[in-house]
Structure 1
């Protein structure tokens, strides 16, 4: 982003929502956040572009989608052990990961050996995250990018952070 160019009011509002969601992700969910959260089952992290990670999976209890297969807004934080994820737009309770579905299907079909890539699929505009251990670094990089974008816009408009 150019230091002399400010965001439109709509883009600024979107950036402010992202910053609020980042703060919520860093604080972690409350019990109420997770009780009211949609569940994403058979989820898989996907990469879109150089900065964004999203979750794809079977969503239930979503306020707009109800029950459907969906790709989330940008992922900000995930804690698999605690069973939650935070995206730019909302909290999610995590169901089973996609890899578990693939392993179960491979086992039911008598496939021996590693079943991590037993089920392959393509989603236009996204690539599967092949190395899940990269997820924390990628999410930290995305958050840093959002904050840098915010700082650049604030400098261009003379607003304080």
Structure 2
């Protein structure tokens, strides 16, 4: 069985993330969405809230699991018996960063492979940070995130 891990902070999950998830599910037997605590990013949602939102969004995709983790991605992958990392790329700047991460992961575990998936053109500008910025100023985030989590995003922002 080919098990792939799609790691990220997903704060919140966007339609770009969802596009990568759906496409990866066609390539791999199982896709585990690894929701990580990124110490370099200030989170809008707690880790548990992110897992809950993602689970709601992917509930109809049978070969997806959602789980949080902290620490090294390589350790999480060993626990999940996966050798494949999925990374979505929007632009050359993403590639430069993700290449460095891929090489570091390969150094930590030579059996690990990173599969880069290019974003769909419609999502090439999309990021969780941009979604939060638009939502903070009460802008329209329809078509940027799954419809079922839009109310959750605005509710969370009002709590700030």
Question: TM-score, structure 2 length as denominator?
Answer: 0.27
**Structure with greater helix percent:** 2
Bigger Rg over Cα: 1
**Structure with greater strand percent:** 1
